[in-house]
Amino acid sequence: MIYITTLASVILLLCGITAYKARQVRSKVDFLVAGRTLSWPVLVFTLLSSWIGAGSLLAGAENAYKNGFVALWQPLGGWLGLVLIALIAGRVRHLAQFTIPDLLEARYNSTARVLATVAIVISYTIITSYQFIGGGDILHLIFPELARRTGLYIMAGFVIFFTAGAGMASIAYLDLVIGSMVTLTVIVAVPILLFRVGGWATVIHALPATHFEVLGNYSFAGALALALPTLLLLVGNQGMYQKFFSARSESDARKSVIGWIIGTVTLETLLVAVAVIASAKLRTDRPREIIPLTAREALPPLLGAILLGGVFAKVVSTANNYLFSPATNLIHDVYERFIDKNASQRRILIVSRLLVIVLGLFAVLQATQFESVLKASLYAYTVYGAAVTPAVMAVFFWRRTTTAAAISSILLGTVVTVVWEMIQQHGPATLQGKIASIDAVYPALLTSVASLILVSLATTAPAAAKLKQFESA
């Protein structure tokens, strides 16, 4: 009963925040970037909550249950990316755009905008889809009579409602509540869980020695293939840039990154620790469920209920963010840009909310195609990271990048990732055997970066006028 009560309280709180913020939405700026009013403390928790979702709570935990602390290689890529982000957060806010394709069109052209939008829609709806999977799993644990697939549909309904309600303002303040609650709960839960399983010596004795090694069961290339997609997603992550565009000032954007770094390193390390420690006591044929299962079976009821409610809310939060971003792209980068340039604010809000619903249903469809959240997350990260991130980083760090190079990089990064994955899943057996051990991130990133460099050097350098606004940023 305590689990049901806690989950109901969390849902009511989220509904209340969404309803309150929805009343304040009057324009596109309010809906897409919260009126550019977010202070740095709010930004810290919305960045933290949008980044740490099912990818950490389910995919990272799945890997930690199977292989131990080598699972930290996946968040390590994000931590390295955060160092780079600290250098450009203020510059991003100075540009005051709405989306990543905004930046790409300003620096390159409208073709780069459209191709980036395609890559973002593919990647972010996949990420949203496995948040739905995670939410369905959690609801099944709380209500065993509820089928996981039914729970997935219920989760999708919650997310679509919350996202369509008030846009960025709703998401940011939901994240403030969720991020602070989950962070505090996990910090308290780790020592209690360690005590209840019998201490660190018991954990070491119960698990293979490889669970505590730097590479564990992975080769260095395999471990790097965990880190690279995460690194690439973070440094080019549209959701993150959109939060910076929503900041009250450049100073707020810069300050938020410091808190984000501290929170991310702490929370992701503790979540992997929870999965490893719990695996010494609990057994499951669904490793992705190890953290919610730990909350239900291995912690005191009240703490477990709060953690389970927090995990559910975290998954909702991440799904909100990754559903909202592609909807933003389609309304701002396609609808307003090419379909109805003179659309009223009211019409834009209506179309925005309809797009959230359509993309949410598309994500539900994709959720039925994945079993491993870990594989789905790495695929989604690679689509985005190989296609969009190199061209975005070039905006800030390489003046010589040309429009033709950016277009070829985005296009090849997307195509190589998707084709590589299709061959590994559905291609001829002989070809599958040849590439089975090569993660898509390697050919996709190599092709994307090589085309960015080689085509830039082979084509005419961009005009100084094109670069001026980015030099002052």
For the stretch 32-68, pLDDT in tens is 555 566 777 777 777 776 677 666 777 788 899 999 9
Give the pLDDT score at 36: 64
Q: What confidence category does residue 212 fall into, taking pLDDT thresholds of 50, 70 and 90? A: very high
Between 370 and 411, residue with greater pLDDT: 411
**pTM of the shown model:** 0.74
The mean-pLDDT minimum among 165-169, 337-341, 446-450 falls in 165-169
Could you tell me how many helices (H) and strands (E) the chain has, helices first? 23, 0
Give the pLDDT score at 70: 93
Q: What confidence category does residue 408 fall into, taking pLDDT thresholds of 50, 70 and 90? A: very high
Give the pLDDT score at 89: 62
Cα–Cα distance list, 103 to 28, 227, 418 (Å) = 18, 26, 24
Distance of alpha carbon 67 from alpha carbon 175, whole angstroms: 30
Cα–Cα distance list, 227 to 231, 288, 346 (Å) = 6, 19, 43
User: What is the rounded average pLDDT of the residues 308-319?
Assistant: 79
Between 34 and 149, residue with greater pLDDT: 149
What letters, b where the CB count within 10 A reaches 16 and e where it falls short, cover 218-251?
beeeebbbbbbbbbbbbbbbbbbbbbbbbbbebe
Q: What is the DSSP letter of 249?
A: S
User: The tokens of 298 are what?
Assistant: 């291995």
User: What is the rounded average pLDDT of the residues 394-413?
Assistant: 91
Average pLDDT, the chain: 81
What letters, b where the CB count within 10 A reaches 16 and e where it falls short, cover 346-356?
eebbebbbebb
Q: State the helix-helix crossing angle for 441-458 and 403-426, rounded to 10 degrees.
A: 160
Instruction: Express each pLDDT in 365-381 by its tens digit.
Output: 888 776 666 677 778 88
User: What is the rounded average pLDDT of the residues 330-358?
Assistant: 81
Q: What confidence category does residue 459 fall into, taking pLDDT thresholds of 50, 70 and 90? A: very high
User: The tokens of 338 are what?
Assistant: 């090419």
CB 281 within 8 A of CB 197: yes
Which class for 465: exposed (0-12), middle (13-18), buried (19 or more C-beta within 10 A)? exposed
Distance of alpha carbon 25 from alpha carbon 40, whole angstroms: 21
Cβ atoms within 10 Å of 302's Cβ, excluding its own: 11
The mean-pLDDT minimum among 107-116, 153-162, 238-247, 294-303 falls in 238-247
User: What is the rounded average pLDDT of the residues 177-187?
Assistant: 78
Helix (H) or strand (E) run with residue 143 in it: none
pLDDT higher than threshold 80 for residue 420? yes
Helix (H) or strand (E) run with residue 329 in it: none
Phi, psi dihedral angles at 210 (to 5 degrees): -65, -20
| 146 conformational bin, left if phi > 0, alpha if psi -120 to 50, beta if neither | beta
Nearest alpha carbon to residue 280 among 218, 215, 200, 216:
200
> Is residue 322 helix, strand or coil?
helix
pLDDT higher than threshold 90 for residue 296? no
Q: What confidence category does residue 317 fall into, taking pLDDT thresholds of 50, 70 and 90? A: confident
User: What is the rounded average pLDDT of the residues 335-339?
Assistant: 81
Between 426 and 352, residue with greater pLDDT: 352
Q: Which CATH architecture has domain 2-98+124-371?
A: Up-down Bundle (1.20)
Nearest alpha carbon to residue 66 among 332, 324, 286, 304:
286
> Is residue 398 helix, strand or coil?
coil
Nearest alpha carbon to residue 89 among 258, 261, 257, 263:
257
Most confident range (mean pLDDT) of 138-142, 204-208, 297-301 is 204-208
Between 429 and 394, residue with greater pLDDT: 394
Give the pLDDT score at 64: 92
**First and final C-alpha spacing in the chain:** 54
Give the pLDDT score at 171: 62
Cβ atoms within 10 Å of 106's Cβ, excluding its own: 16
